Structure 1
Amino acid sequence: MYGWSKDLFFAPENPSINLYKADGSPITGDVSNQIKLWDNGTRINQRPGVNVIHPGTGDQA
């Protein structure tokens, strides 16, 4: 993650995005109906931001 997310992410349902139809022809165009918004379930659902306190210890660079 390169931004505040609170553990929500976009990904296809398992196993992946279909590239071919059942008849073997390639899928073209908009495939956004194969993408879902997932909730990892590890954080409290609240508005993300710099003032949100996160449990655990941050990485030291």
Structure 2
Amino acid sequence: MWPHRSGAHFIRARNACKAAVEDRLNHQHARDEFIAAAEEAKLSTYPSRRSFTELCDSLADWR
């Protein structure tokens, strides 16, 4: 579960990830938004073995 679900970066990242998964937004842009949200929540941004889609899914249950 994401620790802070009300931050500005979280909201932008959630929307960007949803758009990227739906092929409406460049995946690199969504990745950048995700990293900003992780930093805002003081989470590690060290590269993960999880896929980008799995990381986006961790933001919210928007599917």
TM-score (norm 1): 0.21
Q: Which has the larger radius of gyration?
A: 1
Of Structure 1 and Structure 2, the greater helix share is in 2
Of Structure 1 and Structure 2, the greater strand share is in 1
TM-score (norm 2): 0.20
